Copies of this chain bind each other. A is one copy, B any other.
C-alpha cells in the first residue's frame, strides 16, 4: 500500500484540510459577520479551491452552523451562596479566552436569524439557571434580575470584543471583574 509510505493517510490529510477551512471560516465570520463573508474568501484564506468548501460542508449556511456551534456551557450549581462567584467565572471566560465559536455566533446575532435564535436559546437557559440560583432570595422578579445579569454580560462582552470600546478593550480581566462584582451583587441579592 503506497499510502503507508506517506506520513499522513488520505483520511488524515482530508481531516486537516477540513479543519483549515473551518478555522478560516470562523476567522472571517467573526470579523465580518455572515453576510459579508464569502465562500470564495474563506477558500482563499484556507488556500483551497472554493468548490472544495462546498464539497466538504454542503452550503454556506451549513458551514456557518458548524463554525458557530456553541460549546455547551457547564450548568451552574443551585448553590445560591456561590452564585456571584459562578457569574464572575463565566464572565472571566467571556473576558479572557472566549471561544471563537461563541464570537462567531455573537457577531451575527443581530443580523442573521439563525445566529440570533442560537444566542437567544443559550441566554434563555442562562436566565432560568441564574433565576433558579437566587429564587430563594429574590421574590417574583428573580427572572428579570437574571435577565439583567445576562444583559450586562452581553453588553460587556460586545463592547470588549466586538465594538472594542477603548477602555473596556484595554482593561485587564481583574480590573473589570472587581468593578463588576458589587454591581452584579445588587442583582443577586434582594433589597
Contact = CB atoms under 8 A, between A and B. Distances in A.
Interface of A: 32-36, 106-111, 116, 119-120, 123-124, 127, 141, 143-148, 150-156, 158-160, 162-168, 171, 175-176, 179-180, 182-187
B183 A167 contact: no
A179 B106 CA distance: 26
Copies in the assembly, this chain: 2
25 contacts: A35-B36, A107-B110, A109-B110, A109-B163, A110-B110, A110-B111, A119-B163, A123-B163, A123-B165, A124-B166, A141-B175, A143-B167, A144-B168, A144-B171, A146-B167, A147-B168, A147-B171, A148-B183, A151-B152, A151-B155, A151-B160, A151-B165, A152-B156, A155-B155, A186-B186
